[in-house]
């Protein structure tokens, strides 16, 4: 009862609650054809992002790590009319594939794909954002959370992908820089009074991993 069952249950959930969609399927297809790695969120996880962004009434969304625009598609569709999303991608090839996918999904006017390393682009952005999805290089996650907090309005939600890493999160002896990044994230959250946070472990088509959820508290809390 492991990966095979997690995938079967994920398929069941996706068939009912995150069913096949022409634009999303095309995005995954063009990503594969363009040689991009198959590391987008799963359909059920994309739906989770959509639920969470909708639950905070997001009108302005930030994403760090676009890849082919698959998660951006889920999030862009969580926005009300007039809502806007900015997604930051370091790799110009990924950004170009994402722009094509988002255009075909009818989201060209909603989602702005910014090309550049996130630590270079973030200082150029003006918030406030209501929802941030952090899903780029893992070693730099704590810095991205700091930026997301600075660019957020009170009540905003910050979601971080890939924080459990097959359980390596709990391995204090790990020499992996991604593990160091997610452990430093937890050190930061333990000390940051402005964020109400926890981490949820997940299994599914993408294996054993997890999301950190951090709610930006108002200054008087």
161 binds ligand DHB (CB under 6 A): yes
Q: Which does 156 bind (CB under 5 to 8 A by kind): Mg ion, ligand SAH, ligand DHB, none?
A: none
Both tokens of 159, joined, read 């979601």
135 binds ligand SAH (CB under 6 A): yes
135 binds ligand DHB (CB under 6 A): yes
CB atoms within 10 A of CB 202: 21
Subset of residues 162 to 191 that bind Mg ion, contact rule: CB under 5 A: 162
10 binds ligand DHB (CB under 6 A): no
Output the DSSP codes for 105-118: TT-TTTEEEEES-H
Report in angstroms the alpha-carbon separations of 133 from 15, 75, 119, 144, 188: 24, 9, 15, 10, 17
71 binds ligand SAH (CB under 6 A): yes
CB nearer to ligand DHB: pick between 60 and 71: 71
Give least dist CB 173 to ligand SAH, A: 25
- Site track 92-131 with ligand SAH (rule: CB under 6 A), x = hit: --x----------------------xx-------------
Q: Is 54 exposed, middle or buried (0-12, 13-18, 19+ CB in 10 A)?
A: middle
Angle at the Cα of 133 from the Cα atoms of 149 and 115, rounded to 5 degrees: 95
Give least dist CB 167 to Mg ion, A: 16
Residue with tokens 């200054």: 219
Give least dist CB 2 to ligand SAH, A: 23
Please, are residues 80 and 56 in contact by the beta-carbon 8 Å criterion? no
CB nearer to ligand DHB: pick between 64 and 79: 64
CB nearer to ligand DHB: pick between 83 and 164: 164
CB nearer to ligand DHB: pick between 39 and 121: 39
Q: Which does 10 bind (CB under 5 to 8 A by kind): ligand SAH, ligand DHB, Mg ion, none?
A: none
- Estimate the crossing angle of helix 22-33 against helix 92-104, to 10 degrees: 150
Cis peptide before 51 (omega within 30 of 0): no
């Amino acid at each position: 009862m492991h990966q095979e069952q997690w995938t079967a249950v994920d398929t069941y959930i996706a068939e009912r609650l995150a069913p096949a969609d022409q634009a999303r399927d095309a995005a995954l297809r063009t990503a594969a054809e363009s040689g991009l790695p198959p590391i987008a969120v799963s359909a059920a996880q994309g739906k989770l992002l959509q639920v969470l962004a909708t639950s905070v009434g997001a009108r302005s969304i930030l994403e760090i790590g676009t890849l082919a625009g698959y998660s951006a598609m889920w999030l862009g569709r969580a926005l009300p009319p007039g809502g806007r999303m900015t997604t930051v991608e370091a790799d110009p090839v990924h950004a170009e594939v994402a722009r094509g996918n988002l255009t075909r999904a009818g989201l060209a006017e909603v989602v702005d794909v910014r090309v550049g390393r996130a630590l270079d682009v973030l200082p150029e952005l003006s918030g406030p954002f209501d929802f941030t999805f952090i899903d780029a290089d893992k070693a730099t996650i704590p810095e991205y959370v700091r930026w997301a907090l600075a660019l957020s309005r009170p009540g905003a939600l910050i979601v971080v992908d890939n924080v459990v890493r097959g359980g390596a999160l709990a391995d204090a002896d790990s020499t992996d820089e991604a593990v160091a990044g997610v452990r430093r994230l937890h050190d930061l959250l333990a000390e940051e009074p402005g964020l109400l946070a926890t981490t949820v472990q997940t299994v599914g088509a993408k294996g054993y991993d997890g999301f950190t959820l951090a709610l930006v508290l108002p200054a008087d809390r």
